[in-house]
Amino acid sequence: MPTDRPQPAFVLVRPQMGENIGAAARAMWNFGLDRMRIVAPRDGWPNPKSVAMASGAGRLLDEAQFVDTTGEAVADCHYVFATTARARGLTKPVVSPERAMQIAAERIAEGEKVAVLFGPERAGLENDDIARANAIINVPVNPEFASLNLAQCVLLTAYEWQRAASEIIPERVDMAKARWAEQIEIEKLGDHYEAQLDEAGFFFPDHKAQSMKLNLRNMWSRMALTGTDVQMLHGVLRQMVRWKQRDG
């Protein structure tokens, strides 16, 4: 059964290749979408090529709604987007995929049903399809090669839905059982290096020594060190000192 997660319906209008239907299902499920509607697939249904291409997302195909016309596919929807590179003479609001899915999230949160139309591979949506949409989604692609593969377009739109509907952490560090070093550890690391470098005569000439020590401390503070990193850097310095003493 489909999940209870509020989401738009993705409508594949007259898709031609079974492989693209399966790839679209896989792209949807990558981002937690499972409301697929299919309008008059060219090669009929079921299509074994779709199932093979869907991989682990085959249940989306099992639960997909099949209808004969675009009108039937969006009959229960309050707001409809059409993905197309060309408005074809029709006056429509044109939005980016990012903005479209923001609008979709806002409307779905208010209890509305939203659908996104994706056209057939060869020529895209026809005017009769686009005329049923409230707005057009236009992907900012290379104007000299504007045609997107059906599954690619579905993937791109599904990704923008995930961004609009979920809290996305833009950057993180996987700590792999490590922990960030505390300031006292960084301070002691600086002390260790400063003492050994001082003994080695590194801080020369004397009138530049204080500035060099300050720069060294500043370097340690800029480095994102874990506790393990600090221990390793202490060990590196100790081993170098032992080696120098042995060599001497």
Each residue's pLDDT tens digit, 14-42: 999 999 999 999 999 999 999 999 999 99
Q: Would you state the CATH architecture of domain 9-165? A: 3-Layer(aba) Sandwich (3.40)
The domains of the chain are located at 9-165, 183-247
Give the chain's radius of gyration (CA, Å): 29
Average pLDDT of the residues in 113-124: 92
Task: Please answer whether residues 81 and 115 qualify as being in contact, where contact means their C-beta atoms are separated by less than 8 angstroms.
Answer: yes
Buried b or exposed e, range 72-99, using 16+ CB within 10 angstroms: ebbeebebbbbbbbeeeeeebeebebbe
* Helices vs strands, H then E, count in the chain: 10, 7
pTM (2 d.p.): 0.79
Average pLDDT of the residues in 105-125: 94
For 61-82, the pLDDT digits (tens) are 999 999 999 999 999 999 999 9
Q: Where are the beta strands (DSSP E) in 14-110?
A: 36-39, 65-67, 79-83, 94-95
Residue 226 vs residue 147, higher pLDDT: 226
Could you tell me the pLDDT band of residue 245, with boundaries at 50, 70 and 90? confident
Q: Return the pLDDT at 148.
A: 87
Average pLDDT, rounded, for the chain: 92
For 159-201, the pLDDT digits (tens) are 999 999 988 888 888 888 899 999 999 999 999 999 999 999 9
Could you tell me the pLDDT band of residue 4, with boundaries at 50, 70 and 90? confident
